Amino acid sequence: MIPLEEARAFVLSHCPPMGATELPPMLALGHVLAQGVTAHEPLPSFTNSAMDGYAIRAADTAHAPVRLQVVGALMAGDPPSTDAVQRGQALRIMTGAALPPGADSVCMIEDTHLEGDGTVVVERPVTYGANVREMGDDVLVGAELAPPGAEITPRHVALLVAAGVRSLRVFKRPRVGVLSTGDELVEGWGALAPGKIRNSNRPALLALVRQAGFEGVDLGTVGDDPDVIAEVLETAVGVCDAILTSRGVSVGDRDVVKAVLERLSNGAMRSMQVAIKPAKPFAFGVLSPRGIPTFGLPGNPASAMVAFELFARPGLLKMAGHTTVDRPLLRALARAPLARRSDGKVHFVWVVVRVNPEGVLELVPAGGQGAHQLRGMAASNALAVLPDGQGASAGEGVEVMLLEAAALTGGGDAPNIPTR
| Least Cβ distance, residue 181 to Mg ion (angstroms) | 12
Instruction: Give every CB contact of residue 409 below 8 A, 6+ residues apart in sequence.
Output: 355
Distance (Å, rounded) from C-alpha 237 to C-alpha 312?
17
Q: Binding segment for ligand AMP among 85-93, 118-126, 181-189, 328-336 (CB under 6 A)?
A: 181-189
Instruction: Give the shortest CB-233-to-ligand AMP separation in angstroms.
Output: 16
* Interatomic CA distance for residues 107 and 67, integer angstroms: 13
Residue among 42, 320, 26, 20 at smallest CA distance from 166: 26
Strand 105-108 and strand 53-56: the pairing is antiparallel
**Residue 127 CB neighbour total at 10 angstroms:** 10
Q: Which of 58, 168, 185, 276 binds ligand AMP (CB under 6 A)?
A: 185
DSSP codes of every residue in 146-172:
E-TTPBP-HHHHHHHHHTT---EEEE-
Give the nearer residue to ligand AMP in terms of CB position, either 246 or 380.
Answer: 246
Pick from 44, 296, 299, 321: which binds ligand AMP (CB under 6 A)? 299
SS3 295: strand
Q: Judged by CB under 6 A, does residue 277 bind ligand AMP?
A: no
Residue 320: C-alpha distances to residues 28, 169, 176 (Å)? 12, 13, 12
- Among 141, 128, 217, which Cα is nearest to 180's? 217
The residue within the footprint of Mg ion, chosen from 48, 81, 245, 250 (CB under 5 A), is: 250
**Type of residue at 178:** V
112 vs 250 by CB, closer to Mg ion:
250
In terms of CB distance, is 81 or 250 closer to Mg ion?
Answer: 250
Q: With contacts defined by CB under 5 A, name the span among 88-96, 137-145, 237-245, 250-258 that binds Mg ion.
A: 250-258
Q: Binding ligand AMP by CB under 6 A: which of 100, 298, 365, 415?
A: 298
- Count residues near Mg ion (CB under 5 A): 2
Per rule CB under 6 A, is residue 256 in the interface with ligand AMP? no
Residue 252 sits in the site that holds Mg ion (CB under 5 A): yes
Given the rule CB under 6 A, which of 16-24, 297-305, 352-360, 407-415 is the region that contacts ligand AMP? 297-305
- Within 192-251, which residues bind ligand AMP (CB under 6 A)? 197, 199-202, 246-248, 250
Please, what is the minimum distance in Å from the beta carbon of residue 12 to ligand AMP? 23
Q: Which is nearer to Mg ion, 179 or 403 (CB)?
A: 179
Q: Is 125 in the site for ligand AMP (CB under 6 A)?
A: no
The string of DSSP codes covering 232-289 is HHHHHHHH-SEEEEES--SSSTT--HHHHHHHHTTT--EEEEBSEES--EEEEEEETT
DSSP state letter for 98? B
**Residues of the shown chain interacting with ligand AMP in the complex, contacts defined by CB under 6 A:** 180, 182, 184-185, 197, 199-202, 246-248, 250, 252, 255, 298-301
**Residues of the shown chain interacting with Mg ion in the complex, contacts defined by CB under 5 A:** 250, 252
